[in-house]
Structure 1
Amino acid sequence: MNIKTTLLSLLFVLTTAAVSAQAKNAPKSIISTTAIIRKYHDQKELSGMQKGELLELYIERIKVLVKTLPYIALATKPGVTMADLGIPDDNENKKFLDGQAVATTTFLDTTVDFQRKMMPYSDKGNLIAAILFYESTLKSLHEFNDMN
């Protein structure tokens, strides 16, 4: 029984290592694959929500915008890789892309902390207006994509 457990554990470790090694070599998306909005809302729907729910929507939209807007000259949707755009997938470009991802994460961590501390003091109507504005901006990215 002990041999079976050892062999299964070894097989699990080797399988995990193989999958992990493949993921490191996989092309990375220029726009984070987490930069998506699950649902757009209207004024009436937002008005019926509690401030805490609105704050989460507000933060989610900020994250998507920060992960998308700097790259719209290259891509407007998550999943597009450097190779898709004809950008050499070499170590130098990968390093820049990785550095940008780290900088974006750092910026978002700071921004989200600030939003969670300060936005509860905002007027609910202003929060709703901001969410609708952010959603409008995100929808216009689809139009921007259609122009190209």
Structure 2
Amino acid sequence: MAYTLRVEALVGSVPILAAMGIRVVEVVPGRAVAELPPEPNVNHFGVTYAGSLFSVAEMLGGVLCLATFDLEGELAGFVPLVKESTIRFRRPAMGVVRAEASMSHDEVARVRDDALATGKGEFVLEATLTDAGGEVVASTVGTYQVRRLG
């Protein structure tokens, strides 16, 4: 699908994401899942670096926008932006980390309608990061926008 190509372009257009080895494993309108490999993301004491955990979660907002909103048609000229984001570290992460985020159909419709009416649609996105054993290692809450540039 076209949004899969846009998602690959997003990861490729941000060199640090590619260098971290981030891999988008599922992307459908309203949902995105990515994986972060242990290498090269291990810190000086053998667990996943906090900045890498933040990066894999934060980029899901852009991935979701590309997969969910028609940024080449109805919302042409709009881009996804992050306004703020927080992370809560729950336990050290080891091995492959999986990051997941989703938006409800109602929230997607509201953001789209707001964007068309005002030039920006704002939303809050929560992401959950789990280790290979399914344990939650971190969670994020970010405020994002689909915003018209220019």
TM-score normalised over the length of structure 1: 0.34
More strand by share: 2
Greater relative CO (CA pairs within 8 A, separation 6+): 1
Q: Which has the larger radius of gyration?
A: 1
